[in-house]
């Protein structure tokens, strides 16, 4: 694998935002997740749970509801009183419409997907018609006395249930009138509370309404008579969310204690046709409130204040007992938040509303370290890492992407409405910043920014599918060219890679296609053959101009740009196949790089491993030990030499957000331990432990 001096960085103080809502789309097998800062993420569950799209957050958008409608259309609503529809192609907001009912607490699409219902602060329930271009207000239902915190349609589309404070209302959709008002018991652990908040409701086909509330209860109601049928006290704190399977044979609820409970409809006796709801399994995968749950055909999905998205497969629904049956816990975004200036050894950290620039520390090998030390030795620092710059954004919008140039003299970042470019000057221990003014409007909403290796050009991928090339001058810029999207499509380009010689530019969109452009001739050179899974990382090798592409199913391809075909090594590995343990990793490869002096090496990493692929060595088969085979001691060590293979993997650094070569012998690794994130979250509900 080779020996490296590693800068082990743990001062990237990144804390993901908590999860507020989740919405599962059965037709596309995609999951929409909204966070407390207004960010919305789209996960493709068929593509190894990859986060394929995201919409940046906004300070004024506190999302309280999220739902899918007919035609793969995604809507959200929140406390600013607006209903938002997202453009899933251009990755921006299509429009925002005021519902004129104050803050919106709940939203639900009709079973047909053609109507949208919202519950407001003023007690109103509003019905909207979903038209091809927009949504149109249809009518109000009978106004209630308090805010509408939860909504659910009856699968037949004839009635709705609305959860409020202390009661549940059942409405007739045709007339808009409330036909029942079901009062909820305020008793909580034998003590009467002032209010009982109905956090979630679910309307079943047989007319049963299931409610979850702040008194820790799951209750079953008969909507025809408006009476309570059954009551389950399951928690000492709020039950905050509920989701029912499409077959209505199971449902899942999440509590403020971090517990997820699974209820199933089971037969009373083995020969009986009579069935009843039974609490079958509790799961404790969260430390804090579980604010949102979803139920896919094969898994229970939950998220909350502790920022984790947990996907727990239902073993009885998974046909093949392979890695698809494993628990998934997604914490970090599947995109890069860190960029590096190798020449000046600088790291640029991206947060929601600011950027931080750090100078890496340095060490002097003195005394016992003059001779080669053991693997894992910690070298003493002669100079600590230095926080050089804190660059705060103006306005309420989150930063979409950012980048620092290889020479360390330029910083660029983008929000949804503006693009910023700064020139940095270093004078001894001081750093000065000069903003480049009059940046063109077409650069805004950039999804990816990349500098050329010589820091002379800037490449910007817009959300409209176009790629812009900017020449950087001393404190100014010149627009050179724009590559328009292919064949009139508006596919957003999410990943960019430029060759070290600056001649080639590779761009990947959300549909897994990769286009390669000739920067000198300003023409499309070729398109890499389409693959079924989205691209997670790509890079161009220095000497060969081979394009290395990683996909979400853990496949890695090597494509020769000059020859316009896959390389012999890539064909060999596709013919033999990757090791089964390699394919079972559950986090995507997010970065690929190369060693200048070792052209046969490919360096890549995901959140839990760093790997060097040596193309000169044989590929491992499924009978070979993939992780950490022992290196040969000498030339005559035949046994170990037989087991040596191309994949050299290290799992020392985790969770690994970024790793790259600074020079031939030096690596930088940026870690973000989960315990550090949990320490910065608000304290969880204190639970009494046995014996205390």
Least confident stretch, 65-69, 343-347, 409-413, 584-588 = 584-588
In 10 A of CB 204, how many CB atoms? 18
Q: How confident is the model at residue 692 (pLDDT cuts 50, 70, 90)?
A: very low
- What does the DSSP assignment read for 270-305? TT---EEEEEEEEE---SS---EEEE-SSEEEEE-T
Which tens digit of pLDDT belongs to each residue from 438-480? Answer: 888 888 889 999 999 999 999 999 888 889 999 998 878 999 9
Sign of the torsion angle spanned by Cα atoms 679, 683, 688, 691:
positive
Query: What are the Cα distances from residue 545, in Å, to 70, 124, 523, 569?
Result: 44, 61, 17, 14
Which tens digit of pLDDT belongs to each residue from 585-600? Answer: 889 999 999 998 899 9
For residues 34 and 171, give the distance between their C-alpha atoms in angstroms, rounded to a whole number.
28
- Is the pLDDT higher at 15 or at 369? 15
Least confident stretch, 118-127, 161-170, 188-197, 432-441 = 188-197
What pLDDT was estimated at residue 369? 44
Q: Is the pLDDT of residue 50 over 70?
A: yes
Q: Is the pLDDT of residue 107 over 80?
A: yes
Q: Which residues pair with 167 in a beta bridge?
A: 183
Find out whether the peptide bond into 344 is cis, omega within 30 degrees of 0. Answer: no
Cα dihedral: 179, 185, 186, 191 (round 10): 170
Q: How confident is the model at residue 190 (pLDDT cuts 50, 70, 90)?
A: low
- Cβ atoms of 288 and 682 within 8 Å: the answer is yes
Least confident stretch, 177-191, 203-217, 253-267, 503-517 = 177-191
**Count of alpha carbons within 13 angstroms of residue 453, beta-carbon side:** 14
For residues 680 and 664, give the distance between their C-alpha atoms in angstroms, rounded to a whole number.
37
Q: Give me the mean pLDDT over the 155-181 stretch.
A: 95
Q: Is the pLDDT of residue 367 over 50?
A: no
Q: How confident is the model at residue 314 (pLDDT cuts 50, 70, 90)?
A: confident
Q: Is the pLDDT of residue 494 over 70?
A: yes
Q: Is the pLDDT of residue 40 over 90?
A: yes
With 0.75 as the threshold, say if the pTM is over it: yes
Which tens digit of pLDDT belongs to each residue from 630-663? Answer: 555 555 455 555 567 889 999 998 899 999 999 8
For residues 300 and 262, give the distance between their C-alpha atoms in angstroms, rounded to a whole number.
8
- Cβ atoms of 129 and 142 within 8 Å: the answer is no
Counting beta carbons within 10 angstroms of the beta carbon of residue 92, is it exposed (0 to 12), middle (13 to 18) or buried (19 or more)? middle
What is the distance, to the nearest Å, from the Cα of residue 320 to the centroid of all Cα atoms in its chain? 26
For residues 646 and 570, give the distance between their C-alpha atoms in angstroms, rounded to a whole number.
13
What pLDDT was estimated at residue 191? 57
What pLDDT was estimated at residue 42? 96
Residues contacting residue 239 through CB under 8 Å, at least 6 positions apart: 199, 200, 212, 213, 214, 216, 217, 218, 253, 254, 255, 256
For residues 146 and 123, give the distance between their C-alpha atoms in angstroms, rounded to a whole number.
5
Q: Is the pLDDT of residue 353 over 50?
A: yes
**CA 62, 411, 588 angle in degrees (round to 5)?**
60
Q: Give me the mean pLDDT over the 427-442 stretch.
A: 88
Q: Give me the mean pLDDT over the 494-506 stretch.
A: 94
- What does the DSSP assignment read for 32-61? EEEETTS-EEEEEGGGTTEEEEEE--BTT-
Residue 570: its H or E element: helix 568-576
Percent pLDDT > 70 in the chain is: 91
Q: Is the pLDDT of residue 175 over 80?
A: yes
Which tens digit of pLDDT belongs to each residue from 604-619? Answer: 999 999 999 999 998 8
Q: Give me the mean pLDDT over the 494-501 stretch.
A: 94
φ/ψ (deg, to 5) at 238: -60, 140
Least confident stretch, 233-242, 321-330, 596-605 = 321-330
φ/ψ (deg, to 5) at 678: -60, -35
Find the length of the chain: 692
What pLDDT was estimated at residue 570? 96
Least confident stretch, 40-44, 280-284, 485-489, 645-649 = 485-489
Q: Is the pLDDT of residue 327 over 60?
A: yes
- Cβ atoms of 419 and 439 within 8 Å: the answer is yes
Beta strand 610-614 with 598-605 is antiparallel
Burial annotation 433-469 (CB, 10 A radius, 16+ → b, else e): eeebeebeeebbbbbbbbbbbebebbbbbbbbbbbbb
What pLDDT was estimated at residue 688? 59
Averaged confidence pLDDT in the chain? 89
- Cβ atoms of 303 and 285 within 8 Å: the answer is no
């Amino acid at each position: 694998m080779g020996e490296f001096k590693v800068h082990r960085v743990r001062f990237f103080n990144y804390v993901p935002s908590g999860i507020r809502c989740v919405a599962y789309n059965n037709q596309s097998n995609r999951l929409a997740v909204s966070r407390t800062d207004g960010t919305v993420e789209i996960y493709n569950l068929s593509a190894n749970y990859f986060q394929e799209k995201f919409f940046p957050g906004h300070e004024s958008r506190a999302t309280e509801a999220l739902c899918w409608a007919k035609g793969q259309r995604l809507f959200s609503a929140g406390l600013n009183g607006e209903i938002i529809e997202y453009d899933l192609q251009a990755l921006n907001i299509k429009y925002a419409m005021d519902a004129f009912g104050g803050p919106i607490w709940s939203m639900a699409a009709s079973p047909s997907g053609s109507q949208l219902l919202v519950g407001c602060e003023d007690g109103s329930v509003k019905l909207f018609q979903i038209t091809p271009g927009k949504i149109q207000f249809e009518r109000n239902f009978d106004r209630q006395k308090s805010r509408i915190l939860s909504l659910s349609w009856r699968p037949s589309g004839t009635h709705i249930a609305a959860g409020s404070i202390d009661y549940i209302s059942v409405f007739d959709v045709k007339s808009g009138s409330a036909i029942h008002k079901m009062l909820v018991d305020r008793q909580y652990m034998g003590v009467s509370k002032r209010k009982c908040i109905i956090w979630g409701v679910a309307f079943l086909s047989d007319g049963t309404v299931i409610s979850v509330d702040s008194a820790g209860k799951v209750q079953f109601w008969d909507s025809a008579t408006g009476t309570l049928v059954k009551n389950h006290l399951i928690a000492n704190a709020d039950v905050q969310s509920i989701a029912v399977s499409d077959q209505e044979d199971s449902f899942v609820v999440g509590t403020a204690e971090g517990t997820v409970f699974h209820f199933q409809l089971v037969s009373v006796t083995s020969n009986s046709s009579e069935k009843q709801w039974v609490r079958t399994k509790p799961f404790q995968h969260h430390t804090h409130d579980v604010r949102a749950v979803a139920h896919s055909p094969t898994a229970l999905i939950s998220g909350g204040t502790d920022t984790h998205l947990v996907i727990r497969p239902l073993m009885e629904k998974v046909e093949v007992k392979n890695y698809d049956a494993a628990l998934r816990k997604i914490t970090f975004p599947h995109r890069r938040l860190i960029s590096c200036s190798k020449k000046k050894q600088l790291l640029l950290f991206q947060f929601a509303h600011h950027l931080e620039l750090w100078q890496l520390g340095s060490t002097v090998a003195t005394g016992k370290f003059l001779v080669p030390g053991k693997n894992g030795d910690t070298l003493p620092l002669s100079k600590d890492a230095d926080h050089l710059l804190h660059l705060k954004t103006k306005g309420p919008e989150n930063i979409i992407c950012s980048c620092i140039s290889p020479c360390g003299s330029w910083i660029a970042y983008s929000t949804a409405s503006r693009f910023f470019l700064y020139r940095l000057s270093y004078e001894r221990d001081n750093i000065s910043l000069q903003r480049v003014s009059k940046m063109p409007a077409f650069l805004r909403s950039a999804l990816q920014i990349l500098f050329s290796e010589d820091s002379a050009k800037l490449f910007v991928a817009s959300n409209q599918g176009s790629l812009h090339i900017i020449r950087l001058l001393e404190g100014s810029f010149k627009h050179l060219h724009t590559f328009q999207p292919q064949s009139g499509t508006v596919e957003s380009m999410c990943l960019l890679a430029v060759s070290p010689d600056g001649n080639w530019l590779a761009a990947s969109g959300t549909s897994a296609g990769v286009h390669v452009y000739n920067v000198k001739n300003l023409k499309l050179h070729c398109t890499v053959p389409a693959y079924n899974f989205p691209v997670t990382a790509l890079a161009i090798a220095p000497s060969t101009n081979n394009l290395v592409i990683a996909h979400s199913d853990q496949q890695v391809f090597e494509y020769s740009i000059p020859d316009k075909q896959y390389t012999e090594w890539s064909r060999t590995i596709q013919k033999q196949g990757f090791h089964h343990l390699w394919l079972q990793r559950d986090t995507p490869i997010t970065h690929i790089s190369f060693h200048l002096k070792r052209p046969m090496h490919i360096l890549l990493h995901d959140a839990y491993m760093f790997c060097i692929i040596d193309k000169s060595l044989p590929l491992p088969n499924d009978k070979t030990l993939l992780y950490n085979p022992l290196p040969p001691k000498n030339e005559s060590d035949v046994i170990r030499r037989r087991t040596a293979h191309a994949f050299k993997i290290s799992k020392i650094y985790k969770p690994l957000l970024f790793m790259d070569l600074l020079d031939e012998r030096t690596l930088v690794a940026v870690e973000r331990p989960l315990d550090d994130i949990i320490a910065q979250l608000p304290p969880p509900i204190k639970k009494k432990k046995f014996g205390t």
